[in-house]
Structure 1
Amino acid sequence: MAGKTTASTSDEPVEYEVLIGINYPPNKRAEPGDVVTDLPYGSKALLLEVGAIKQVTK
């Protein structure tokens, strides 16, 4: 199996669609309709709860 690589779904970043414009560190802005993968870890739960983002991949 040398030279073979397998993609693991756990290694893929989770994508979130922005529903309400948000600013997040470091100095980034996402507008409604943008799909982002680099949201700060501690902010995701709150942003999901208030409806600012929705998860589009698992």
Structure 2
Amino acid sequence: MNRKLQAIAQRNLIDNYQPEQLGVSWLGAAFNHSMSLYYALSTLGLIGWFAFFMNWIGK
């Protein structure tokens, strides 16, 4: 990601650009607020499939 930011700075003729260290572990990336919607939707999907296979729905 730092290389991309550096390339953008060069393309936009920004001199003396000092990028910050962008270090995130996979655990920090997996459990953040942006991913919570995906986890909620996948949980609802799994519950729906479980209910379908148990013949609670879809008869």
TM-score, reference length from structure 1: 0.19
Q: Which has the higher strand share?
A: 1
Q: Which has the higher helix share?
A: 2
Higher relative contact order (CA closer than 8 Å, sequence separation 6+): 1
Q: Which is greater in Rg?
A: 2
